Structure 1
Amino acid sequence: MATTNLPSADDLRTEVRDWLAANWSGLEPSSDPWRSSPERIAWLEKVLDAGYAVPTYPTEWFGRGYPAELAAVIGREFRAVKAPGALQDRYSIPANTVLRFGTETIKHDLLRGFLTEQSRTCLLYSEPGAGSDLAAVRTSAVKDGDRWIVNGQKVWTSGAQHAEYALLIARTDWDVPKHKGLSFFIIPMRQPGIEIRPLVQITGESHFNEVFISDASVPDEYLVGGLGNGWKVLQTALAYERSIMGDSGRASRNRSKADSLVELAREHGRLDDAAVRHELATALSLRELNRLNNSRAKASAEPGTSSSIMSIGKLAMSRILHSEARLKTELIGAESLLAGSDNPVADDVNFLTFNAFFTSIGGGTDQIQRNIIGERVLGLPREADVDREIPFRQARKS
């Protein structure tokens, strides 16, 4: 429920500043984005209990019932001191999905753990034959008493090795068109019947995985959004994922000189080059334009809903990362042919170049984002889909 007697922005700003001054002393940066240290979890517990983690949520679910403009005040104060944990109502994929569509049981069981990172999650969406067309998934979930039995294979799953739970899209009805036969679950990952095999990326990391599911089970209470409503739930979850990727696009490495285009140009004596300055201005203006567009999209979106505008931010970030990688390679010149710890700037530039492809593929490829923008933002005719209205059992297997 919404909170009455809302504070003024000035009063809230003072409250948050005082709270941060009394509680925030910094955290050691983590080298692994898929694990949360005990210190980080303890900090997130404090933020949640103070009501700053999800201020737009109802008070019964750790929030304050604030409107977006008051929540933004909290976010600005946390950013000012570089403290994490605030405004998860704008970016937490599992928490926002569960709040919008989850049963009371699943909210009680999991919501707090998601918001404190005590329970890390992964996304079991894509399959070997269903990547760009997620409606074509063939992983099945069959009802068995008070649980669901799941069988299938997923791929490109980030962080599966460390996840306690996964957001899962599975087929529960093969005799209706593909979009209507899907259901969405939160599945426990630490159980027999789930095998995780890491995939080595071009960067040398192994954040992605194949996941093989054989007779794994999900409690019926962990069906999210109701039977056959999985496509709608998935669109909301994907919108948050695209929003996150559109915001930063930052690779999972510690920050270095290669992060700053201006600093890199100065270090390599290229800052006075007119052509380079033009490219720098273009890159920096695109970053700022994308930030403003993402802020607009989030400000206009209701909590727990999806927005096709977020696809613009994700597509833009893909272009930004690739163009910045090309510029960084140009700035360091022949040094880009080097690699290894003896050449840290070149090594990081090459890593960022390789990693740019992650944003072009993860969360829906650039081509999928263009389709979404064309159809749902610009109102262009829908792309042909010959098996959209036939029972999925009759659809041709790719």
Structure 2
Amino acid sequence: MKDSAVPAAPGTIAGEVRSWLADNWHGVDDAAWRRRVVEAGWAAPTWPRDAFGRGLSRQEAKTVASEFRAAGARGAAVEHTGFPALAGNTVVEFGSPELKREVLPKLLSGEWSRGCLLYSEPGNGSDLAGLQTRAERHGDVFVVNGQKIWTTGGHEARCALLLARTDWDVPKHAGISFFLIPMDLPGIEVRPIKQMTGESDFNEVFLTDVRVPASALIGELNDGWRVLQTALKEERRTMGFELGGSKRREGDRAPLFSASNDLIEAAREAGRLDDPAVRQEIMRIHSWRLVNDWNAIRAKKQIEAGGGSSLASLGKLAKSRILHSSWALKFRLLGARGLLYDEAADKQAYEVDHQLMWSFINSIGGGTDQIQRNIISERILGLPKGFEPDRGVPFRDVRKGGNARPDGK
């Protein structure tokens, strides 16, 4: 490993990491190295020791990651990044010891770094709890049948978080279970969906008599809705705060408008920087970005204090407006060029058009904008819940869309 400029004090986290790296890092980042990092607890240092972690604080985990970077080594402190954050943190909180031993090393080592979410279905729109994919227990396996839609990355995923109905005789939220499954199980068929961008990042997924081991259950049987909230919390936090805005790091002393230099530069290139209407729109979007940064700090403090934060929903809704407005302004600034969606003819116009279309994904993934408004109204503003005609009604007796039979089979 590379020598550090400043020696770490003995007995400190930095010293322990440097000592371990000196004994173990030999400059080869392969599967064996990743497994060694996982087994040592450095891949997920904030997780408990019984979940391949070390029980460290977030700040200590940053020190771990910094020491690995200084040595040129990879694989440390990945428990709050990408799919390992979505699936791993959920398994850590609710998974059985057997499930933790089985799947956490795969998630942390990169073997299962690509995953997908088998949540949404064609027949229930934004009402995720109205899902009709069923999982029926047969001894030590569940047999799963159903259809999922808008599955991001399903064609590349190695594993998936799956929501399925395991009890039709209780209200809809009470009869759902949550699983983590490999995507190569027999009976899983993935069909790409053609998007308006010309790509196929989303998929339909059909599950036909898929035999899922009972050990893949996360949490208790029929308690999947409560388990799901942990996964959604992580997804909304990422979509709301971490993917955009000013992306300023704590302690940065960048000029006030550095967060919106992309908009300023677009206006300058279009010769519209002195246009009062354009300047006003830049300022409006900049203020939204800035306020969303402040809300991200509030949400982070609430999460670090323990539990989740409904501010993640506020951030996600705000991010939708920020993304739509930012790319729409850049599109308008292109003028007639924006009508050409051809990368070879005009790469810049193609990129703006592509991002404008893609921006609407934020309004759907991780819960629609409408769902976020409900959460904000109830959990942040304290407004009363809306009318729920199926409240307390066994799901078997609830009127359903899609192809479900009246008996719920």
TM-score (norm 1): 0.82
- Once residues 209 and 43 of structure 1 are traced to their aligned partners in structure 2, the CA distance between those partners, rounded to angstroms, is 33
SS of alignment partner, residue 55 of structure 1:
coil
What percent of counterpart residues are identical?
Answer: 50
Give 5+ residue unaligned stretches, structure 1.
1-6, 26-37, 251-257
Q: Retained in 2: the 8 A contact 1:184–1:230?
A: yes
Give the aligned partner of residue 233 of structure 1.
227
How far the C-alpha of 1:78 sits from its partner, in A, is 8.7
Q: Retained in 1: the 8 A contact 2:65–2:76?
A: no
User: Counterpart amino acid of 1:376?
Assistant: R
Q: Retained in 2: the 8 A contact 1:318–1:360?
A: yes
Give the aligned partner of residue 86 of structure 1.
77
Give the aligned partner of residue 4 of structure 1.
none
- Once residues 46 and 281 of structure 1 are traced to their aligned partners in structure 2, the CA distance between those partners, rounded to angstroms, is 49
| 2:185 is equivalent to residue 191 of structure 1 | yes
- Once residues 51 and 124 of structure 2 are traced to their aligned partners in structure 1, the CA distance between those partners, rounded to angstroms, is 35
Q: RCO greater where, 1 or 2, for CA within 8 Å and sep 6 or more?
A: 1
Q: Retained in 1: the 8 A contact 2:134–2:165?
A: yes
The verdict on how the C-alpha distance between 1:75 and 1:247 changes in structure 2, with shifts beyond 3 A counting, is farther
| 2:51 is equivalent to residue 61 of structure 1 | yes
Q: Retained in 2: the 8 A contact 1:243–1:314?
A: yes
The verdict on how the C-alpha distance between 1:260 and 1:115 changes in structure 2, with shifts beyond 3 A counting, is farther
Q: Retained in 2: the 8 A contact 1:124–1:168?
A: yes
SS of alignment partner, residue 116 of structure 2:
strand
Give the aligned partner of residue 371 of structure 1.
374
**Per-residue Cα deviation, 1:38-89 (whole angstroms, up to 9, x for no partner):** 97978866765675543321134232312334445567889999x8863523
Aligned length: 372
User: Counterpart amino acid of 1:186?
Assistant: L
Q: Retained in 1: the 8 A contact 2:162–2:180?
A: yes
The verdict on how the C-alpha distance between 1:54 and 1:204 changes in structure 2, with shifts beyond 3 A counting, is same
The verdict on how the C-alpha distance between 1:190 and 1:261 changes in structure 2, with shifts beyond 3 A counting, is same
- Once residues 141 and 325 of structure 2 are traced to their aligned partners in structure 1, the CA distance between those partners, rounded to angstroms, is 48
| 2:110 is equivalent to residue 123 of structure 1 | no
- Once residues 130 and 390 of structure 1 are traced to their aligned partners in structure 2, the CA distance between those partners, rounded to angstroms, is 17
Report 1:1-398 matches (<5 A). Answer: 48=38, 51-71=41-61, 86=77, 88-89=79-80, 92-119=85-112, 120-249=114-243, 260-301=262-303, 305-340=307-342, 341-398=344-401
The verdict on how the C-alpha distance between 1:77 and 1:355 changes in structure 2, with shifts beyond 3 A counting, is farther
SS of alignment partner, residue 145 of structure 2:
strand
- Once residues 330 and 164 of structure 1 are traced to their aligned partners in structure 2, the CA distance between those partners, rounded to angstroms, is 40
- Once residues 216 and 380 of structure 1 are traced to their aligned partners in structure 2, the CA distance between those partners, rounded to angstroms, is 42
Give the aligned partner of residue 28 of structure 1.
none
- Once residues 268 and 19 of structure 2 are traced to their aligned partners in structure 1, the CA distance between those partners, rounded to angstroms, is 39
SS of alignment partner, residue 393 of structure 1:
helix
**Per-residue Cα deviation, 1:181-209 (whole angstroms, up to 9, x for no partner):** 11111122102211111101111111111
- Once residues 127 and 339 of structure 1 are traced to their aligned partners in structure 2, the CA distance between those partners, rounded to angstroms, is 31
C-alpha root-mean-square deviation of aligned residues, in Å? 3.5
How far the C-alpha of 1:97 sits from its partner, in A, is 0.8
User: Counterpart amino acid of 2:167?
Assistant: D
**Per-residue Cα deviation, 1:221-256 (whole angstroms, up to 9, x for no partner):** 111111110100111111111111113446xxxxxx
How far the C-alpha of 1:143 sits from its partner, in A, is 0.6
- Once residues 17 and 290 of structure 2 are traced to their aligned partners in structure 1, the CA distance between those partners, rounded to angstroms, is 27
Q: Retained in 1: the 8 A contact 2:240–2:315?
A: yes
The verdict on how the C-alpha distance between 1:395 and 1:311 changes in structure 2, with shifts beyond 3 A counting, is same
The verdict on how the C-alpha distance between 1:205 and 1:78 changes in structure 2, with shifts beyond 3 A counting, is farther
SS of alignment partner, residue 187 of structure 1:
strand
User: Counterpart amino acid of 2:395?
Assistant: F
How far the C-alpha of 1:377 sits from its partner, in A, is 1.6
Give the aligned partner of residue 30 of structure 1.
none
**Per-residue Cα deviation, 1:135-156 (whole angstroms, up to 9, x for no partner):** 1111111111111110111111
Deviates more, 1:273-282 or 1:339-348: 273-282
Give 5+ residue unaligned stretches, structure 2.
1-7, 245-259, 402-409
